[in-house]
Amino acid sequence: MSQPSATSERIAFPAVLLDGARAALARQRTAEVEVLVAVADWADAHTEDGVVADQYGPFGLLRHDAHLLPGADVFGELGGPGAPLVSEFCVVEIAAALGLSTDSGRRLVGEAVELRHRLPRLWNRVIDGALPVWRARKIAQETTQLTFESADFVDRHLAPVAHKTGMVTAQKLVAEAVARFDPEKAELDRADSDATRRFDIDLQGQVDPARGVVAVSGTLDLADALDLENAVSRVAADLAAAGSLDSLDVRRASAVGEIARRQTTLDLSGCADQTDNDVAASAASAATRSKARQVVIHVHLAEAALTDLDPNACGGVDLARVEKTRSFVHAEQVREWCRATSTQVVVKPVIDLRDQVTVDAYEVPDRIAERVRLTRPTCVFPHCTRPARGCDLDHVDEYVTPDPNHPGNGGPPGQTSTTNLAPLCRRHHRVKTHPSLSGIGRERRWRYRRLPDGSFVWTSPHDQQYLVDPHGTIPLPA
């Protein structure tokens, strides 16, 4: 008789599945605590002795030669008042080691510093395994703006029950702490509605390629919200009266775009000498006109699209990448955008990205810059996704000035080229240029080199290596 397999035993005894899941969760939580402690230890190893938040402002260079080092490492206020200031460059390295973007790493380090140095009771509950790391981090997010006394109040009252209460309790305690220990701030928060207002258009989020839409969210002043609602409702009704067969939701979404285009036609810069009636008349006239929408499209064609092959047989031919987003839209969606009579379409010449273009000067001409940014549309630092349009263009192999008087000396010709340039956002350009506070070896800064296939190998100040290709980042073995 054959023996039952381990899988059949687990199916036969459902309780075993529950026990296994709980045991796995316990191991996961233990590992999360170990990571948080390691992050806090790393931050403590990169602080300035005796210097805490509020002494030098949110960021400050604390060395005597700071004025000689533009772009050098700075100490950041990642926790609340009384927490130590932490080296900015150290955040970059721990984030890369954990597979996080620098912004995500900065949040993690800040929350670890906040818990260890300003919420010690909650920190001890985390170390003991009673309080999950994710819940402690959410609490730390709420307390970083509190005074030291306010944070201590929240810590004392929340630590015994934080493992079984929701965030509403923590937020109430934060509000009470502000009212008790910082009444001036409480009054300012009550009077200043700007503190909670926002309006976000998520151009960097995932875009549905079939629809080409993005998410919009915000918190407005009530009067502004009522005005916006009236305007959207009115324009949505106008669209229906003009013959639109779309649903009310679709017409309201389209109305926002119509309002935006009408608003950009207003020119109030020369209104100083006009009467109120003149301004009102100008605005009313402008409101009847929609500014032409300008669509700039960078089309990347597969080679098969230029042949006689069936386009439907070539995957991706009918997709277009929109640079300000991180996704694709169908070509049919682009055609819909361009069909409107008010749309102005700008056609740019096709660039063959296989061409290698070089110049001898240090400055990067537009024809090279455009090719580099189209080839690598984001910063090439590990885990960074900032668009290349807003990045610096860095010489991968450092530019060496040629010596015109001695041709054999200095750098070779053609150092500024499509193969020796890479987009780096300003923060990561700085960590590549300047040394960190710690590190091993002589340079103590990030270094990188380009491989023949166009990917990059980065080496951190502590000799951790990462491979960055167009698909993302992977750590390399030591």
Beta strands 343-346 and 293-296 are: parallel
Question: CA 122 to CA 93: how far, in whole Å?
Answer: 27
Q: What is the full per-residue pLDDT of the chain (478 aa) written as tens digits? A: 556 566 655 566 788 888 899 999 999 999 999 999 999 999 999 987 655 555 444 444 444 444 446 788 888 889 999 999 999 999 999 999 999 999 999 999 999 999 999 999 999 999 999 999 999 999 999 999 899 999 999 999 999 999 888 888 888 888 888 888 777 776 666 666 566 788 888 776 656 655 667 888 888 876 687 788 889 999 999 998 888 888 988 899 888 888 887 765 555 455 445 444 444 444 444 444 444 445 555 544 444 444 444 545 545 456 666 665 556 666 666 667 666 666 666 666 667 778 889 998 999 999 999 999 989 989 999 999 998 988 999 999 999 988 777 766 778 888 999 999 999 999 999 999 998 888 887 788 999 999 999 999 999 999 999 999 989 999 999 7
pLDDT, position 67? 43
Q: What is the pTM of this model?
A: 0.71
pLDDT, position 409? 76
For 361-372, the DSSP string reads SSS--HHHHHHH
Question: CA 196 to CA 275: how far, in whole Å?
Answer: 35
Domain ranges of the chain: 13-193, 216-291, 294-346, 358-475
pLDDT, position 180? 82
pLDDT, position 42? 96
Question: CA 35 to CA 284: how far, in whole Å?
Answer: 60
